[in-house]
Amino acid sequence: MKITSQRITVVGTPWRELVFLELMTDTGLTGTSEVRMVSRTEPLIACLEETAPRHVIGTDPFDVERLSWNIQRAEYDRPGEISQSALACFEVACWDLMGQSLGVPVWKLLGGKFHARVPAYANGWYQAERRPEIIAGLAKKVVEKGYRALKLDPFGHAAAELSAAERRHAISIVAAVREAVGQDIQLMLEMHGRFTPSTAAGVAKLLEPFDPEWLEEPTPPENPLAYRSVRNATHLPIATGERAHAMEDIRGFIETGMVDIVQVDLTHFGGFLAMKRLAGWADAYSLPMAPHNVCGPVGTMANLHFAVCTPNYKVLEHFNDFADSWTHDLVDHSPRIDPADGCFVAPERPGLGLHLNHDVCAQHPRTGGRIKLFDKGWEQRQG
Ligand SMILES: [Mg+2]
Question: Are residues 301 and 105 in contact, defined by beta-carbon separation less than 8 angstroms?
Answer: no
% of the chain with per-residue pLDDT over 70: 100
Read off the pLDDT of residues 196-221 as tens digits, 9 standing for 90 and up. 999 999 999 999 999 999 999 999 99
Considering the domain architecture, whether residues 273 and 289 belong to the same structural domain is answered as yes
Q: How far apart are CA 338 and CA 341, in angstroms?
A: 6
Tell me which of 58, 79, 103 is where a domain ends. 103
Tell me which of 65, 81, 103 is where a domain ends. 103
* 8-state DSSP, 77: S
pLDDT, mean over the chain: 97
Considering the domain architecture, whether residues 163 and 75 belong to the same structural domain is answered as no
Residue 177 has pLDDT above 80, yes or no: yes
Considering the domain architecture, whether residues 198 and 220 belong to the same structural domain is answered as yes
Residue 365 domain flag? no
Distance 191 CA to ligand 1 centre (A): 7
Question: Are residues 86 and 50 in contact, defined by beta-carbon separation less than 8 angstroms?
Answer: no
Structure confidence at residue 256 (pLDDT): 96
Considering the domain architecture, whether residues 21 and 170 belong to the same structural domain is answered as no
Handedness of CA 3, 24, 335, 317 (dihedral sign): positive
Considering the domain architecture, whether residues 278 and 321 belong to the same structural domain is answered as yes
Structure confidence at residue 90 (pLDDT): 98
278: domain CATH number? 3.20.20.120
Domain that holds residue 74: 3-103
52: domain CATH number? 3.30.390.10
Residue 183 domain flag? yes
Residue 369 domain flag? no
Residue 382 domain flag? no
Calculate mean pLDDT across residues 270-285. 98
Read off the pLDDT of residues 249-260 as tens digits, 9 standing for 90 and up. 999 999 999 999
Distance 240 CA to ligand 1 centre (A): 7
Considering the domain architecture, whether residues 167 and 69 belong to the same structural domain is answered as no
Residue 372 domain flag? no
Residue 34 domain flag? yes
Read off the pLDDT of residues 30-70 as tens digits, 9 standing for 90 and up. 999 999 998 899 999 999 999 999 999 999 999 999 999 99
Q: How far apart are CA 113 and CA 94, in angstroms?
A: 20
Considering the domain architecture, whether residues 262 and 283 belong to the same structural domain is answered as yes
% of the chain with per-residue pLDDT over 90: 99
Read off the pLDDT of residues 222-262 as tens digits, 9 standing for 90 and up. 999 999 999 999 999 999 999 999 999 999 999 999 999 99
Residue 363 domain flag? no
Handedness of CA 160, 85, 121, 373 (dihedral sign): positive
Structure confidence at residue 382 (pLDDT): 86
Handedness of CA 381, 317, 218, 270 (dihedral sign): negative
Count of the separate structural domains present in the chain: 2
Distance 110 CA to ligand 1 centre (A): 26
Distance 144 CA to ligand 1 centre (A): 24
3-state secondary structure 200-236: HHHHHHHHHHHCCCEEECCCCCCCHHHHHHHHHHCCC
Give the pLDDT band (50/70/90) at residue 276. very high
Residue 375 domain flag? no
Residue 383 has pLDDT above 90, yes or no: no
E-assigned strands of the chain?
A: 3-12, 17-25, 30-35, 117-122, 149-152, 186-190, 214-216, 238-240, 261-262, 316-318, 343-345
Catalytic residues: 192, 292
Considering the domain architecture, whether residues 98 and 120 belong to the same structural domain is answered as no
What is the pTM (predicted TM-score) of this model? 0.98
Considering the domain architecture, whether residues 47 and 132 belong to the same structural domain is answered as no
Calculate mean pLDDT across residues 114-143. 97
Tell me which of 103, 130, 158 is where a domain ends. 103
Considering the domain architecture, whether residues 202 and 294 belong to the same structural domain is answered as yes
